[in-house]
Amino acid sequence: MIEIIIGALVAIVVALYVYFELPLKRIKRLTSGIPGPKGLPIVGILFDVRKEKAGTFGFLWNNTQKYGPIFKIPSVGRLAINMTNPEDIEVLLKNNEILDKPYSTTKFFKPWLGNGLVFSAGPYWKQQRKLITPTFHFNILEKFFEVFNEQGDILIKLLKEKADGKTNIDIFPYMQSFALDVICETAMGTKIHAQTSARSAYVLAVQDMERIIVERFISVIQQIDFLFPFTENGQTQRKALQILKESTDKLIRKRRDDLIKESENKSDENQDDSFGTKKSLAFLDLMLQARNMDGTPLTNEQISDEVSTFTFAGHDTTSTQLAFLFYLLSKNPHIQEEIYKEQCDILMGEKRDPTFQEVQEMHYLERTIKEAQRLLPSVPLFSRQVTKDLQLKTNNYVAPEGSILTVFTFGLHRNPNIYPDPEKFDPDRFLPENLRERNPYSFVPFSAGPRNCIGQKFAMLEMKTSSSKILRNFKILPAFEADGTPYEPDLRAYIVLTAVNGIQVRLVSRT
**Which pLDDT score, from 0 to 100, does residue 447 have?**
95
Q: Which of the four pLDDT bands, split at 50, 70 and 90, describes residue 77?
A: confident
DSSP 176-199: HHHHHHHHHHHHHS----TTTSSP
- Mean pLDDT for the stretch of residues 360-374: 98
DSSP 299: P
Is residue 125 within 8 A of residue 417, CB to CB? The reply is: no
| Least-confidence region, from 104-108, 197-201, 296-300, 448-452 | 197-201
Spatial separation of the C-alpha atoms in residues 326 and 504, rounded to whole Å: 9
> Is 480 strand, coil or helix?
strand
CA distance 60 to 45: 11
Residue 25 DSSP class: H
Nearest to 253 by CA among 201, 217, 301, 318: 301
The rounded percent of the chain whose pLDDT value lies above 70 is 93
Pairing of strands 497-499, 491-493: antiparallel
Q: Which helix (H) or strand (E) holds 244?
A: helix 232-265
Task: Dump pLDDT digits (tens) for 177-214.
Answer: 999 999 999 988 888 899 998 777 888 898 899 889 88
- DSSP code at position 378: S
Write the single-letter amino acid at 465: T
Out of 187-196, 213-222, 350-359, 441-450, least confident range = 213-222
CB 340 within 8 A of CB 368: no
Question: Degrees (nearest 5) of the Cα angle 224, 226, 227?
Answer: 65
The whole-number pLDDT of residue 51 equals: 79
Distances, alpha carbon 209 to alpha carbons 112, 114, 213, 495, in Å: 8, 13, 6, 11
pLDDT value, residue 320? 96
Q: Return the SS3 of 170.
A: strand
Give the predicted TM-score (pTM) of the model.
0.91
Rounded CA-CA distance 123/505 in Å is 46
| Among 226-230, 231-235, 395-399, 436-440, the least confident range | 226-230
Confidence at 380, pLDDT banded by 50, 70, 90: very high
Q: For the chain, what is the mean pLDDT?
A: 89
**Max Cα distance, the chain (Å):** 87
**pLDDT score of 65 more than 50:** yes
Nearest of 149, 506, 112 to residue 309 by alpha carbon: 112
Which of the 8 DSSP states describes residue 445? B
CATH of 31-509, one of 3.40.50.2000, 3.90.1200.10, 1.10.630.10, 3.40.50.970: 1.10.630.10
> How high is the pLDDT of residue 272?
46
172 contact partners, CB below 8 Å, separation of at least 6: 319, 320, 323, 498, 499, 502, 503
- pLDDT tens, position by position, 466-495: 999 999 999 999 999 999 999 999 999 888
Query: Which strands sit side by side in the sheet containing 70-75, from one edge to the other?
Result: 70-75, 78-83, 404-407, 382-385
- Would you place residue 13 in the very low, low, confident or very high pLDDT band (cuts 50, 70, 90)? low
CA distance 440 to 173: 33
Instruction: Cite the DSSP H helix spans in 17-115.
Output: 25-30, 46-51, 55-67, 86-94, 103-106, 110-113
CA distance linking residue 472 with residue 152, whole number of Å: 12
Helix (H) or strand (E) holding 206: helix 201-217
453 marked as part of a ligand binding site? yes
Dist CA 285 CA 255 (whole Å): 7
Q: Under DSSP, is residue 391 helix (H, G, I), strand (E, B) or coil?
A: strand
Whether residue 358 has pLDDT greater than 80: yes
Reported as a single tens digit per residue, the pLDDT across 256-308 is 887 778 777 755 554 444 333 344 567 888 888 888 888 888 898 999 999 89
- Asked if 474 contacts 505 with a C-beta cutoff of 8 angstroms, the reply is no
What backbone torsions phi and psi does residue 334 show, to the nearest 5 degrees? -65, -35
